[in-house]
Amino acid sequence: MNKIKLLPRSLRVVGLALVFFCFGLFVTDPEVVFGEMSFLGSEIQSPWKVTVPSLLADDHGETVLFKWEENDISNEILLTLMLLGTYLIAFSKIKEEDEFSYQLRMEAMSQAHLWNGLLLLLANWLFYDGIFLYIMIWGLFSFLLIFSLVFAFKIRNYRKDLSYEE
């Protein structure tokens, strides 16, 4: 019945661990998102500075299609882990996976799409400059996070109804 191929249930725990790890790292050292590492308040040389391929890069004031450049990839690693974590949470099976949970999943997805759009629209008019960039970074995985929360809330509500039997 399920039209979406879902991941094994055990991967949900891995996803949660990844999200908490990334979130924890972000809270304790927010600069890591922007690729600047620090330790106990003092800046340190990042071990993640490598040469990477860059598309549509800035080259002395000119935009070039491709170039190699030095970049601290700690923020890329963090965002990849965060995205991977949110995908694992959002698309792993729940305990009782059937056509009803599939419908709840679809409802949660459409509601998350609406809420995410509204939040980004609000952010567009309320945040500017660096803060807006910061919000947009969160916008990369906010849809999946909102979806996971709405879906968990719906499942929880229906579990509550289980007290009704005869």
Partner 1 sequence: MKNSIKVERAKKDLTQAKLAELVGVSRQTINAMELGKYVPSTTLALKLAKIFECRVEDIFQLEE
Interface region with partner 1, contact rule CB under 8 A, candidates 38-46, 65-73, 100-108, 139-147 = 100-108
- Scanning 3-11, 15-23, 84-92, 156-164 for contacts with partner 1 by CB under 8 A, the matching segment is 156-164
By CB under 8 A, tell whether 99 contacts partner 1: yes
What is the gyration radius of the CA atoms in the chain, in angstroms? Answer: 20
Three-state DSSP string of the chain:
CCCCCCECCHHHHHHHHHHHHHHHHHHHCHHHHHCCCEECCEECCCCCEEEEEEEEEEECCEEEEEEEEEEECHHHHHHHHHHHHHHHHHCECCCCCCHHHHHHHHHHHHHHHHHHHHHHHHHHHHCCHHHHHHHHHHHHHHHHHHHHHHHHHHHHHHHHHHHCCC
Task: Compare residues 71 and 101 and give the one whose CB is closer to partner 1.
Answer: 101
- Smallest gap from residue 161 Cβ to partner 1 (A): 6
| 31 part of the interface to partner 1, by CB under 8 A | no
Q: Which residue in the set 100, 113, 128, 153 belongs to the binding site for partner 1 (CB under 8 A)?
A: 100
Q: Find the shortest distance in angstroms from Cβ 93 to partner 1.
A: 12
Q: Does 98 bind partner 1 (CB under 8 A)?
A: yes
- What burial letters (b/e) apply to 78-94, b meaning 16+ CB within 10 Å? beeebbbbbbbbbbbee
Q: Does 156 bind partner 1 (CB under 8 A)?
A: no
Size, binding site for partner 1 by CB under 8 A = 15
Q: Which two three-digit tokens encode residue 106?
A: 């679809």
Say whether residue 66 binds partner 1 (CB under 8 A): no
Q: Among 86, 101, 142, 148, indicate the residue that binds partner 1 (CB under 8 A).
A: 101
When asked if residue 159 is in the footprint of partner 1 (CB under 8 A), the reply is yes
Does position 70 interact with partner 1 (CB under 8 A)? The reply is: no
Binding site residues, partner 1, CB under 8 A: 1, 96-101, 103, 158-159, 161-162, 164-166
